[in-house]
């Protein structure tokens, strides 16, 4: 199916835009060294590019007082807390607690006052305190940065809308190991779970909130 016929198939059914809210938070998902270190099993140049594109957006959010939260993947050495997911993807052993490749990329490292949520599964909402934390903050919109687009970012978008948050994905600020699943996930997120927009549009929204 061509891109044109795909768009025609979704038009009028999966093409509604939710728009921006009034109280955003930035959620930086799994931008860790395992994805940005050449030669590492999860390495993807698309993730490196997304990290680079996220630096200014994160910095501007901080300047404007918009909360920035992070997620990492972290397992007990036994892997038992990862259940069948840990068995399905054996390379997840890179994220056993203390493994250096599980650390957040220093280009976008969290500040000491920023929350880092440790998770064991794709969605940052599953089995974590994230939803209640965002609720206490009064957040109505989550801006998803991170990787991988087809995995944890998509899972965050699905659960995000299910928890009642407007989901915003700046396309330059998410990445994957291959462009095909990356593009498919962006299409799917934009059709059903949130709005995929440009980084510039998100920055403009942040500035409008300040005004």
Q: Which residues are catalytic?
A: 152
Burial track 109-123 (b if 16+ CB lie within 10 A, e otherwise):
eeeeeebebebbbbb
Neighbour count for residue 172 (Cβ, 10 Å): 18
Distance CA 45, CA 179 (A): 10
Q: Is 36 helix (H, G, I), strand (E, B) or coil?
A: helix
Closest alpha carbon to 36 in 172, 177, 185, 182 = 177
- Quick one: tokens of 1? 């199916």
CA dist 56 and 34 (Å) reads 22
Compute CA distances 85 → 89, 117, 158, 159, whole Å: 6, 18, 18, 18
Contact (Cβ atoms closer than 8 angstroms) between residue 124 and residue 75: no
CA distance 85 to 209: 40
Contact by Cβ (8 Å): 120, 81:
yes
């Amino acid at each position: 199916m061509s891109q044109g016929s795909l768009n025609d198939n979704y038009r009028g059914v999966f093409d509604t835009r939710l728009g921006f809210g009034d109280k955003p938070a930035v959620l930086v998902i799994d931008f860790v060294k395992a994805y940005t270190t050449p030669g590492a099993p999860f390495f993807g140049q698309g993730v490196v590019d997304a990290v680079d594109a996220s630096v200014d957006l994160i910095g501007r959010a901080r300047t404007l007082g918009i909360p920035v939260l992070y997620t990492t993947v972290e397992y007990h050495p036994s892997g038992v807390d990862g259940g069948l997911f840990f068995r399905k993807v054996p390379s997840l052993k890179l994220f056993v607690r203390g493994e250096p490749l599980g650390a957040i990329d220093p280009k976008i490292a969290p500040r000491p006052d920023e929350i880092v949520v440790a998770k064991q599964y794709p969605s940052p909402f599953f089995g974590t305190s994230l939803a209640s934390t965002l609720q206490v903050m009064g957040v109505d919109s989550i801006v998803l940065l991170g990787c991988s687009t087809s995995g944890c970012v998509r899972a965050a978008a699905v659960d995000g809308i299910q928890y009642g948050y407007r989901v915003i994905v700046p396309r330059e600020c998410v990445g994957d190991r291959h462009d095909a699943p990356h593009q498919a996930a962006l299409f799917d997120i934009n059709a059903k779970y949130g709005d995929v927009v440009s980084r510039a549009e998100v920055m403009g929204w942040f500035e409008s909130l300040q005004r």
